[in-house]
Structure 1
Amino acid sequence: LGVSEYLPDLMKKNVFETHFCLHEKREQKELKQSWARWSACFRGQPITNVRNYLGENVALYFLWLGWYTFLLIPASVIGLVVFLYGLAFYSTSPLMLNIVICADTVCFGSHVQVSLLFDNEGTVAFAMFMAVWATVFLEFWKCHRSSYVSAWKVFDWCEEEEELILEIVNNAHCEPKMHRHSYLRSTIVLLLVIIGLTHVLVVSRVIATVLLAENSTWQVITENSQTVAVMLGAVLHYITITVMTRVKAHKPPTNKHSHAAVERSFTVKMFIFQFFTMFSSLIYTAFFLGRINGHPGGYVRISGKWRLEECHPSGCLTDLFIQMSIIMVLKQTFNNIFEYSDLHRNYSLIKTDRFSLFNEFLEMVIQFSFTTIFVAAFPLAPLLALLNNIIEIRLDAIKMVSLERRLVPMKANDIGVWTDVLEAIGVLAVIANGLVIGISSDFIPRLVYQYFYGPCASGSATGIDCMVGYINNTLSQMVTYSGINVTHCSYRDYRSNEDFSLTNQYWVILAARLVFIILFEHVVVIFKCVASWFVPTSPLDVTNERLYDKLRRLKEELRSVTRAYTL
């Protein structure tokens, strides 16, 4: 008497040591044979059996993951075609010129050629396709989901209402629990994380570039110190991501608010935190790298010593490509290795709770972000995601059936707040890819040169490649005098050779960039709206079946009321 009957409180007082749901051997064995094994990688998933054993909540996760993986197939094929398109024209490009870059002697033209693998006309079309693909995927997912939740008779089920009914049953005089949230505190924490991580990664890359250039015993590293520093920075960023994702967030007690409200709040906060942890350095590389470092005669330096890093000689898109490829490959490879552990039974199995599924969703939604946001810089991202997910589905299945304690089956009719998160990512994909192509890519400067400054600008040139002379056109000259010696070097910018002022061509290109961004985003948004309008939220047969069920239920209720009134 007098002891709290709330189980977590009893566990804190050591009345009980733990609690969990036991695996049922027969059902567990059936799922192992048909689903949770590596030989079933290319089979369909027995979603209804998963629902019967692990509940709708888990079944909807695997249904979503399977649908996402299936729709990655066309995205992967088109991304691979775009990459091969760049590879096909790799050796025929006129963008090849040996020059002396200020502070470094490199073969600049060969670097420009490398960037054409992922910075070409096909990239623009692919970025538009992926932005629309994100909407089509989500709309078809809603349609696909509705068929299953209708068959499971949970279409109109509401978790919050069910929890409120239980509260009223336990306490007829219960009061609603008010929600509170400090937007100021959350914003301050988020800004500190973004600014702090970005500064650490930027400073480490700047210092690494200088040290590698001055102290490396290998000439190849000295000559490519900037590229090596970018790769080391990407590895450091991955390590930072791994450490931050291993930090266990404080999970709020669910006895103060409804489970649904707690999960929504926790999901949104943790996703935003993890999203900016992973994308802070990529955002800096895409939109700030090489634009705040100054110019010859006026470089910006850290502590007056280390000069801020510049973009790769072929452009900032190359830096973004290197970072995304390294982070995505490392993240997917090591995540799958860490997830797979030895088999245990019941009490010794990995502990689970209602937040266990959150980690699985978070991993996949972050991957979805990599696949859609900045895909203009990394067209192979969908292919890597597809290969990973083929393994991920079985890995998660094996883990939930064999390696973890059985999750308590829970009702659900959707993936919850993750739908809103995915829609937000779809909008960000449009904005980010438009900005990447418009700002970071050389696509717009090449178009401007081709039609306004190149040999084809007059319209009378024949038998000549319109991009001849493009490299020289993008460079500004700097002349330094040391006694009787005169040194000429070049740097990427549109500045006057006399006073470093910006040229008219710079402003023409800037105007073209802004026009492209506006057009790109408006055209893609129109396509997204059309795609969203054309795809129904529910199949017609599901809609008609639900209408029939509602009509039958209302008739039964009306008959019950009429019978009671008659009596």
Structure 2
Amino acid sequence: MTDSDVSSFAPLVVLELADNTKEEAITWLLSRIRDKQQNGGAELLVEQLLVGVQDGKKCNPNVFIVGSTWQRLLNGAEDVGLFKEFNDGSMRGFTYANRENFKDFKGDGDGFLSMAECQYIIKHELDTLRAKDEAHVPGYPNAKLYPGKSVIRRLQSKRILEQVFPLHDKEELKKLSFSWYKKVKLSFQPLDDVRRYFGEGLALYFGFLEYFTFALVPMAVIGLPYYLFDWEDYDKYVLFAIFNLIWSTVFLEVWKRSSAQMAYSWGTLSRKKAFEEPRPSFHGELGLNPVTGREEPIYPNTRRQLKIYLVSLPFVLLCLYLSLYVMMIYFDMEFWAIGVYDESPNFWTSILLFIPSIIYAVVIEIMNLLYRYAAEFLTHWENHRLESTYQNHLVLKVLVFNFFNCFASLFYIAFIMQDMALLRQSLATLLITSQILNQVMEAFLPYWLQRRHNKKVHKRMRKMMGDKELPLLEQVQLETDMNTYLGTFDDYLEQFLLFGYVSLFSCVYPLAALLVVLNNITEVYSDAFKMCHVFKRPFTEPASDIGVWQLAFETMSVIAVVTNCALIGLSPQVKAYFPESDTQLILTVVAVEHILLAFKFILAFVIPDVPKHIQIRLARLEFESLEALKKRKMLEAAEISKTDK
């Protein structure tokens, strides 16, 4: 059996139904996918793929591959509002009627759309497959269908449809892997290639990771001599704290302009946000949507707010208390280790000084992981209707706990104990330990497990089919069992915490920036590797910025201004100017802090988020669109006038 025997079209997306799915449900779903658009179908191509026995066990026969004709994909590109480069170099929404005026459109359009764009279009068409007059999914009386609502999302919520994912393109993946991570180089990442293969959302994350790493280089270069001189006089770090303040203020403002430049070149900056469908797991009593007028599940907002304030909020506060309790245990261990060292200073007791911090760093990572699962469960239980709302509530819960769990001990050491030597040691241990754990858990362990699994699948396929060539069958089987990539949440969270370590306390431990640079260099390679070989290929996610994480980083930069001003105020060198009045010192530090915060907000206002030349291009496109609309209305009015005569 060859690929041509398996499929008569280019396979793009895989649908896996539950292995016990009833035949009438399968027949109904396939007919809806194949049916023409005017009949309410998706007008896509679909074929069954996997049937057989592996190791004496029947494998899931309900695996299907989905593809499309080029004509359908081009029409779909217009439906999703895809932006492509026009002949004049501007980025415009693609329209099939105007297709000849788009750059790189030749012939019938073959190759005009990337594989990732084709897969995104297919996903959109599947997601917008609407229920008509069916009361329920055939064969499943309890799986009710609501007119006008997404069929695919309903099947997912009832666990009839287990997963939908896009297939990897082996040749494109091989090229991307070589230019991205297979060769060590001192150059920028191929972000345009990453965007073409994985989409704008993931490309923006890697763009931010690259920008953050390069932005840290000046901090690392300045911080290294501070650390090598090993000055115990922490007055010298006042200058570094001032530089830290300037850096954390400028850093995010410049990034917003860089991300706007990338988003414009990728056609997502002016792209309108699609109407959001309810999450597959959203549930409620049947009612009328006040926006669409359609019948759909409605969940009272009052009930959701009660869940948030009476359950979720107390749970978060309880977790913060537990984190504080664990922190105090850590300090007890730290004081015990210092006491042992003071009684008998030698090589072994000097090593013992680092043990409490290492244990605490490991405990922090474990607590963060456990809390993440609890936060996901709670946010899911709150029953948010939209995915964006769900993500915002989840990010808020996770950020509050992670910030407190990771930084509370450092704030305590800095401002309560005022022990800068211990602060330096604790920060170094937390940074190094957390980076090692992250690299092991995020890249090496998943890769090792996936590699073992791939070998087993390959062996089973050879045993089942003998010497027949089955590259597509084997590829689908391998990718079906791969872990699903859950998005950039954890990746941004890691960078958020690293940004906090550098912007808050690197004036005390100047080597922090260098350690983060080294971590991020390895992070680029490990993240690129796991995207190519550890996880299923994710669907592309159109994005014009990094979303709620921009606000998270900006909040951290405000906290950094306050923290660094307070650290400067604790310096004996600064205290010497106010020998008789602590109150005057505090008022002076607060005044300076307010001036710096005012400077920060003025800078954010003065520096436009979108470069001027891009603003002009966007304004020109808007003007041309309005003129074209006026012209069309005039022509329609003229036609109506002729008809009346």
Alignment-derived partner of residue 363 in structure 2 = 240
Offset of residue 565 of structure 1:
2.2
* Paired positions, count: 446
Separation (CA, whole Å) in 2 of partners of 1:431 and 1:404: 40
**Residue from 263, 269, 283 that aligns with 1:149:** 263
**Greater relative CO (CA pairs within 8 A, separation 6+):** 1
Work out the CA distance in 2 between the residues paired with 1:234 and 1:393. 27
Q: State the alpha-carbon separation in 2 of the partners of residues 192 and 137 from structure 1.
A: 35
Q: CA deviation at 1:222?
A: 11
Counterpart residue number, 2:164: 19
Structure-2 separation of matches of 1:398 and 1:211? 40
Does residue 258 (structure 1) correspond to residue 386 (structure 2)? The answer is yes
CA shift digits 1:199-235 (9 cap, x unpaired): 3332343256347746x8982169978x955x33322
Q: 1:522 — aligned with what?
A: 594
Query: Which of 175, 193, 203 in structure 1 is aligned with 2:329?
Result: 203
Aligned to 2:345: 220
Does the CA-based 8 Å contact 1:321-1:378 persist in structure 2? yes
Give the corresponding residue for 1:436. Answer: 567
Query: Please, what TM-score do these two structures have when normalized by structure 1?
Result: 0.71
Alpha-carbon offset, residue 388 of structure 1: 0.9
Distance 1:10 1:45, change over 3 A: same
Gaps of 5+ in 2: 1-137, 146-150, 281-287, 455-477, 640-645
Aligned counterpart for 2:552 among listed residues 400, 412, 421: 421
Quote the residue 1:94 is aligned against: none
Equivalent pair of 1:34/1:40 in contact (CA under 8 Å) = no
Residue number in structure 2 paired with 1:124: 238
- The aligned counterpart of 2:8 is none
> Per-residue displacement from partner, 1:64-89 (whole Å, max 9, x unpaired)?
111111111112112224435x54xx
Return the letter of the residue paired with 2:479: N
Per the TM alignment, residue 411 of structure 1 is displaced from its structure 2 partner at its CA by: 1.1
Alignment check: 8 A CA contact 1:213 1:223 kept:
no
Partners of 1:25 and 1:535 lie apart in 2 by 43
Deviations 1:364-391 (A, max 9, x none): 1111111111223222211111111111
Equivalences for residues 63-74 of structure 1 within 5 A: 63-74=207-218
Q: Which runs of structure 2 are paired with 1:438-453 in the superposition (5 Å)?
A: 438-439=569-570, 441-447=571-577
* Distance in 1 separating the partners of 2:295 and 2:238: 57
Match status 1:61 vs 2:205: yes
- Determine if contact 2:410/2:423 at 8 Å carries over to the other structure: yes
d(CA) in 1 for partners of 2:314, 2:222: 41
- Among residues 133, 146, 164, which one is paired with 2:247 in the alignment? 133
Q: Percent identity?
A: 26
1-structure distance, mates of 2:176, 2:243: 37
Matched to 1:330, the amino acid is T
> Which of 317, 325, 348 is the equivalent residue of 2:481?
348
1:48 equivalent to 2:174? Answer no
Distance in 2 of aligned mates of 1:21 and 1:203: 48
1:317 corresponding residue in structure 2: 420
**Unmatched segments (≥5 aa) in structure 1:** 91-114, 290-314, 453-507
Q: How many Å separate the matches in 1 of 2:219 and 2:338? A: 38
Do the aligned partners of 2:376 and 2:394 also contact (CA within 8 Å) in 1? no
Aligned with 1:541: secondary structure? helix
CA 1:218/1:10 → structure 2, altered by over 3 Å: closer, same or farther?
farther
Distance in 1 (alpha carbons) for counterparts of 2:575 and 2:352: 27
Comparing 262-271 with 202-211, greater Cα deviation is found at 202-211
- Name the CA shift for 1:57/1:530 in 2 (closer, same or farther; >3 Å): same
Match of 1:332 in 2: 435
**Relative to structure 1, is the Cα distance of residues 82 and 4 closer, same or farther in structure 2, using a 3 angstrom cutoff?**
farther
RMSD: 3.3
Change (3 A) 1:212 1:546: closer
Give the letter aligned to residue 401 of structure 1: C
CA distance in 2, matches of 1:377, 1:217: 24
Once the two structures are TM-superposed, the CA of residue 513 in structure 1 deviates from its matched residue by: 3.5
How many angstroms apart in 1 are the aligned matches of 2:144 and 2:208?
39
Distance 1:26 1:79, change over 3 A: same
Separation in structure 2 between the aligned mates of residue 542 and residue 24 of structure 1, nearest angstrom: 33
Query: CA deviation digits over 1:109-132, x for unaligned, max 9?
Result: xxxxxx32xx123x2222222222
Verify the 8 A CA contact 2:238 2:568 in the aligned structure 1.
yes
TM-score normalised by length of structure 2: 0.63
Deviation at residue 556 of structure 1 after TM alignment: 1.2
Are 1:536 and 2:639 matched, yes or no?
A: no
Give the AA of the match of 2:356. G
- Asked if structure 2 preserves the Cα contact closer than 8 Å seen for 1:41 and 1:391, the reply is no
Given candidates 499, 503, 526, the residue that maps to 1:372 is: 503
Aligned equivalents of 2:337 and 2:423: distance in 1? 22
